[in-house]
Structure 1
Amino acid sequence: MLKQVADGVWVRQSEWVWSNAVVVRGEGGLTLVDPGIGGADLNQLADDVDRLGLPVVAGFSTHPHWDHLLWHSRFGDVPRYATSAAAQAAGEARERAQAMAAESASDIPLELIGLLTPLPADGGPVPGEVIEHEAHAVGHAAIFLPDRGVLVAGDMLSDVLIPLLDPRRPDQLTAYETALDRLGEAAGRVDVVIPGHGAVAEGPEVAARLTADRAYLDALRQGKEPADTRLAQDWLSGPHQSNLKQARTSS
């Protein structure tokens, strides 16, 4: 079920990698951020949204990875936005995203994956400030809602995911450090951070997330093995080794 974490901001978490769908109330209605994951999840999210009694006016994808490109017809035929770079990347990789979705979850409306349009300069119906950066994925963006004290962080600032560097792009270590600096400025003004995966951070945990990610990157930069409790998850071994390789290349 949707959990309200601030005024006009709700979160629903899926079992699949603790994925968070975010619902944000704006002036004209609701914006759905990264809705997912499986068909049952999407249907249940639609039920939850119906109970709010407000129309869905837009979607927003924080970045062009398949699990952040999903949609369901019950949300309506409304614009689905991303940054210009993310929208272009999603369009170019749409068939690959559909194939990955079909392999990873069931009953996803594959025909609706990745149908994004660039966010207009004025933000359109998407509330808050969009903070674009180059970490993790092309055109990655967070949504900063200073009036609600919330930062919707996409695949950043997670308690379950280590920083995941994009192995296809150069010097992601620096890009990630720069992104954390930008997000840190916003995080210093909020009480709630919603990651794409994992628990919502509230209060002192917000600063702790930034500290953990910076410590992980600092260890990579120094050629050391990070002392990070998130690495206890076996499935992160592959991404971590990829990060180590990238860090060696960047140094």
Structure 2
Amino acid sequence: MGELRQVADGVWVRQSDWVWSNSIVVRVEDGLVLIDPGIDGSELSRLADDVDRLGLPVICGFATHPHWDHLLWHPRFGDVPRYATPAAADLATSARERARAMAAESASGVPLDLVAQVTPLTADGGRVPGELIEHQAHAVGHAAVLLADRGVLLAGDMLSDVLIPLFDVRQDGQLGAYGAALDRLGEAAHHVDVVVPGHGAVAEGAEVAARLAADRAYIGALRRGEEPVDARLGPHADWLSGPHRSNVEQAARER
């Protein structure tokens, strides 16, 4: 952890100690795009050091979804536009004070005045590279980023080796939303060799299909009213037992 690592041409990842969160740097024609930078103040500062060494300016940021740990920023990245999908930006703006409170509680040294300062991305995607795959699984306005020309899918909080699918308690229909999202991500995965999740290890090669299969199996079990058999659950991950039970209860209401 703690090093900016190149995972594909012009795509770098730096992993935090906090829930294995991944900050992503993407090179574009005129600079760099930062996606979901995090997580505490010292790590953001070290990420800024890494970005400085790349020798290119940051031209914008992008938040894959409106959870506080994906809405962070640091002054050293510059006063540049920070985008999210329109739905995600709207929720992030309305819940900004809550996001700042959660950041203050969980991530020391974060510049709180910069938390959740995002604007809606235009329909053409603006300066954010690749194709956005927007869906409603996990969070309102969640968007993965497909960089097909580089063989990379930036999955946001999907396709993790450490996190089970986590339902958005604000939204009904998460079983269906996850099914639809995984179908779309599965189509995108045909074009990639690398998947970068919001949390956990980067998937390469055959592991990409394995991640999709694991999430589909978990959702399928909940849809059938069965207890999932999932390597991400168990005594080694007691902290996921609460979110898992919440998923089970929400799925029971939706079936």
Q: Write the mapping of 1:232-243 to structure 2, written as runs, cut at 5 A.
A: 232=234, 233-243=237-247
Query: Is the aligned partner of 1:151 residue 2:153?
Result: yes
Equivalent in the alignment of 2:139: 137
Matched, 1:31 2:19: no
Tell me which residue corresponds to 1:8.
10
1-structure distance, mates of 2:189, 2:106? 32
TM-score, normalization by structure 1: 0.99
Please say if residues 28 and 125 of structure 1, whose CA atoms lie closer than 8 Å, have aligned partners that are also in contact.
Answer: no
Tell me, what secondary structure is at the counterpart of 1:45?
helix
Match of 1:118 in 2: 120
**Among the aligned pairs, what percent are the same residue?**
73
What is the RMSD of the two structures over their aligned residues, measured on CA atoms?
0.5
SS at match of 1:194: strand
Q: Residues of 1 paired with 2:170 and 2:242: CA distance?
A: 15
Cα distance in 1 for residues equivalent to 2:134 and 2:12: 22
5+ long unaligned stretches in structure 1: none
Distance 2:156 2:21 in 1: 10
Question: Equivalent residue for 2:74?
Answer: 72
Aligned ranges for residues 205-220 of structure 1 at < 5 Å?
205-220=207-222
Give me the whole-angstrom Cα distance separating, in 2, the residues matched to 1:250 and 1:116: 32
* 1:88-143 C-alpha deviation (Å, 9 max, x unpaired): 00000000000000011100000000011111122111110111001000000000
Mapped to 1, the partners of 2:202 and 2:213 lie a distance apart of 16
Q: 2:250 matched to which residue of 1?
A: 246
Q: Distance in 2 between matches of 1:172 and 1:224?
A: 16
Give distance in 2, aligned partners of 1:54 and 1:120: 24
**Paired residues, number:** 251
- The aligned amino acid for 1:101 is A
Structure 2 unaligned runs (5+)?
Answer: none
Is residue 170 from structure 1 mapped to residue 172 from structure 2 by the alignment? yes
Moved more, 168-177 or 12-21: 168-177
Runs of 4+ in 1 over 2 A off after TM superposition: none
Q: Given the alignment, which residue of 215, 223, 226 partners 2:225?
A: 223
For residues 174 and 190 of structure 1, the distance between their equivalents in structure 2, rounded to whole angstroms, comes to: 25
SS in 1 for 2:136: coil
Cα-to-partner distance string for 1:169-197 (whole Å, 9 max, x where unaligned): 11111101100001110011100000000
